[in-house]
Amino acid sequence: MSHELRIQQLADDLGRLGCRPFHIPLGVMLDEANPRQSRCIRCETCDGHPCLVSAKSDAQVACVDPALEHPNVTLLTGARVEHLETSASGREVTRIVVERGGAVETYAADVVVVACGAINSAALLLRSASDRHPRGLANGSDVVGRHYMGHVNSVLMAVSKCPNRAALAGFLAHVRGPAGCGQPGDARP
């Protein structure tokens, strides 16, 4: 996604200081070469908000909404998968045990996909411990839920005499150190 004018000026200024700013990778369905066909319209609600025109490649737009178009798909809201149960061999999930509205429900499917995010997928697999899988499902190595990497981010805020009228201002990144500009302790940015 190309930068808006003020953000491009900031990127150019950082470049002149020896920094190497870069575009943050985005999952946005933007076709700048053919804007009339583009789903993204570069509106002001993009950064940190649900997309009002379904142009973000987030889980809702790219997975959930297309899946719900099939007649054999049902989305349960207010439900929590308590655990998964497996066959005697331990290689197939045979039941999905769900708590919904204070009641326990069970489901079965030919294919079960665990897609609860990094933390909750691990939590579900660990809650699914059984005699066959005493450490939880898919956890023979005992590393499920360990070595989680959080994304440590910092924010740079600048005060400028030039107004910033950019609708999408938050899509410029900069790395300090050998790949960026300066070393820790340097006086420059």
Express each pLDDT in 131-150 by its tens digit.
889 999 999 999 999 988 77
Instruction: Answer whether residue 176 is part of any domain.
Output: yes
Residue type, 163: P
Cα 122 from chain centroid?
16
Residues 6 and 40 reside in one and the same domain: no
Query: How many H-runs (helices) and E-runs (strands) does the chain carry?
Result: 4, 5
Same domain, 85 and 114: yes
Q: Is 151 exposed, middle or buried (0-12, 13-18, 19+ CB in 10 A)?
A: exposed
Q: Which residue has the higher pLDDT, 176 or 4?
A: 4
| pLDDT value at residue 19 | 86
Is the separation of the CB atoms in 122 and 144 below 8 Å? yes
Q: Is residue 106 part of a domain?
A: yes
pLDDT at position 3 = 87
Over the stretch 16-71, which tens digit does the pLDDT of each residue have?
988 888 888 888 898 999 999 999 888 877 767 788 899 988 888 989 999 999 99
Say if residue 102's pLDDT is above 60: yes
Query: Does a structural domain hold residue 144?
Result: no
Nearest in space to 23 (alpha carbons), one of 70, 110, 14, 41: 14
Residue 81's domain comprises: 76-139
Q: Are 161 and 2 in contact (CB under 8 A)?
A: no
**Number of domains into which the chain is organized:** 3
Of 35, 52, 74, the position where a domain reaches its end is 74
The per-residue pLDDT of the chain, averaged, comes to 85
Q: Are residues 101 and 130 in the same domain?
A: yes
pTM above 0.85, yes or no: no
DSSP characters over 130-181? -SS-TT-TT-TTS-TT-S-------------SS----SS---EE---STTSS
* pLDDT exceeds 60 at position 187: no
Residue type (1 letter), 181: C
